[in-house]
């Protein structure tokens, strides 16, 4: 089961003893409800695994936000980081089963967006280039 971020990680005023609310929607939003986290999850679900690939996404996440969100996802048990290079240290990011279980949620958001947001279109599969860093 994923670890729920504490108040400092969520940026809310709740205490560290537990989630700010017993509501499962609130708890899920505390974990994955910001824009960048959902976009990183989208990219992971589409097969991206390396830092440079996430940076190349059209939304233009900054390096500090990307590093922060990947670390949060790893701490929450949704992503694992597996080194593929030691000098310099570089990681492949992979979804855990808990992270993969978010696929229907991301798919539902995409389906809704296509139906209700003019100008949106399905994303093409990412180019397979594991050397992108």
Shared domain for 65 and 39, answered yes or no, is yes
Q: Reduced to 3 states, what is the DSSP secondary structure of residue 38?
A: helix
Whether residue 83 has pLDDT greater than 90: yes
Beta-strand runs (E) in 10-121: 79-86, 89-95
Shared domain for 20 and 74, answered yes or no, is no
CA-wise closest residue to 78 among 110, 109, 105, 57: 105
Shared domain for 29 and 68, answered yes or no, is no
100-131: per-residue pLDDT in tens?
999 999 999 999 999 999 999 988 766 555 54
> Whole-model pTM?
0.80
15-49: per-residue pLDDT in tens?
455 778 999 999 999 999 999 999 999 999 999 99
pLDDT value of position 126: 66
User: Residue 11 sits in which domain range?
Assistant: 1-33
Q: How many domains does the chain have?
A: 2
Whether residue 61 has pLDDT greater than 80: yes
Q: Which residues contact 90 (CB under 8 A, 6 or more apart)?
A: 50, 51, 83, 84, 133
For position 78, which CATH number holds? 1.10.10.10
């Amino acid at each position: 089961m994923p670890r729920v971020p504490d108040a400092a990680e969520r940026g809310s005023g709740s205490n560290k003893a537990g989630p700010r609310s017993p509501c499962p929607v609130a708890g899920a939003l505390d974990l994955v409800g910001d824009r960048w986290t959902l976009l990183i999850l989208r990219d992971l679900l589409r097969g991206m695994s390396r830092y440079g690939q996430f940076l190349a996404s059209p939304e233009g996440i900054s390096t500090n936000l990307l590093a922060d969100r990947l670390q949060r996802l790893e701490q929450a048990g949704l992503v694992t980081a597996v080194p593929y290079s030691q000098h310099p240290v570089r990681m492949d990011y992979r979804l855990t089963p808990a992270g993969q279980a978010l696929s229907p949620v991301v798919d539902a958001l995409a389906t809704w967006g296509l139906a209700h947001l003019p100008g949106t279109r399905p994303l093409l599969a990412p180019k397979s280039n594991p050397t992108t860093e």
